[in-house]
Amino acid sequence: MCYDISAQLKSQLKHAQRYAPHLVDEIKEKLAPYLDEDEQAQYRVSGFDHPRLIIYTDKKGLTPVISKWGLIPHWVKEPEKTIEISNKTLNARIETIHEKPSFKNVAQEQRCLVLIDGFFEHHHKNKEKIPHYIHKKDETSFLVGGLYDEWTDPNTQETTHSFTIVTTKATGFMQTLHNGVAEPRMPLILNENQSKLWLAGKEDFSINLSDFEHHEVRPIRGKNASPNTVIAQEYYPSQPDLFS
């Protein structure tokens, strides 16, 4: 599962500057209605809030596109069902993307890359769910695989561009960290070369987490959930002997 991520605007704009500098100002302008001053950092953002992020699609190459997290299939007819559906399509298991109705039409032809700074996952111990923040050791952003679609509201004719983050079987320390489930999962983390292969249709990747690390953080659910500030990513030990 991957329901909470860090996707700081400055990282997304830096990446966009690298490939499409002429579009950076336009991206800032288009994102402005969805971000208040605090949210521009997006130290921790939940997929259930359906934030707008910058993605890179197979059709547009390295041109950034603003997209809503939570895929809305183009075939949905009732606008009132879009929230319910997008809550169920935050993630897509790579093993079944060619089978599930919401994904099978886009699994081959509508792939994308999502740039994030890190993600959050719970570790279960002694009946507790302890949140961890997973990120690169050098604190740089990285790409994960996704799928996207475009849905047009039949009433307003407004088009919504949306995406899902693809997950795969956990590897490395994520096999131990993401416990309490039948099968540990993690986002489909891709390096530069793998990113090109993912957009071209490849699905069999070996993911190396040697450049990543994790640490405990404050709660990410419930009334005591950390705010969308740097506090959300700070080390906050609940059990110092967690993996001893």
Residue 130, domain member (yes or no) = yes
**238: in domain:** no
Residue 87 phi/psi, 5-degree rounding, is -70, -25
Phi (first) and psi of residue 29, to 5 degrees: -65, -40
Rounded Cα distance, 237 and 215, in Å: 8
Entry pTM: 0.91
CA angle 109, 57, 92 (to 5 degrees): 65
Place of tokens 């991957």: 2
192 located within any domain: yes
The tokens of 186 are what? 């993690």
How many domains, in total, are found in the chain? 1
> What single string gives the DSSP state of each residue in 140-191?
--EEEEEEEEEEE-TTT--EEEEEEEEEEE--TTHHHHS-SSSS-EEE-EE-
Give the domain range for residue 143.
4-233
Instruction: Give domain status of residue 36, yes or no.
Output: yes
Q: pLDDT digit of tens for each residue in the chain (244 aa)?
A: 789 999 887 887 888 787 778 778 877 777 766 665 554 568 899 999 999 888 988 776 667 888 999 999 999 999 999 999 999 999 999 999 999 999 999 999 999 999 999 999 999 988 889 999 999 999 999 999 999 999 999 999 999 999 999 999 999 999 999 998 889 999 999 999 999 999 999 999 999 999 999 999 999 988 888 888 899 999 999 755 544 4
Residue with tokens 């500098």: 21
Q: Is residue 16 part of a domain?
A: yes
Q: Is residue 239 part of a domain?
A: no
CATH of the domain at 99: 3.90.1680.10
Q: Is 242 inside a domain boundary?
A: no
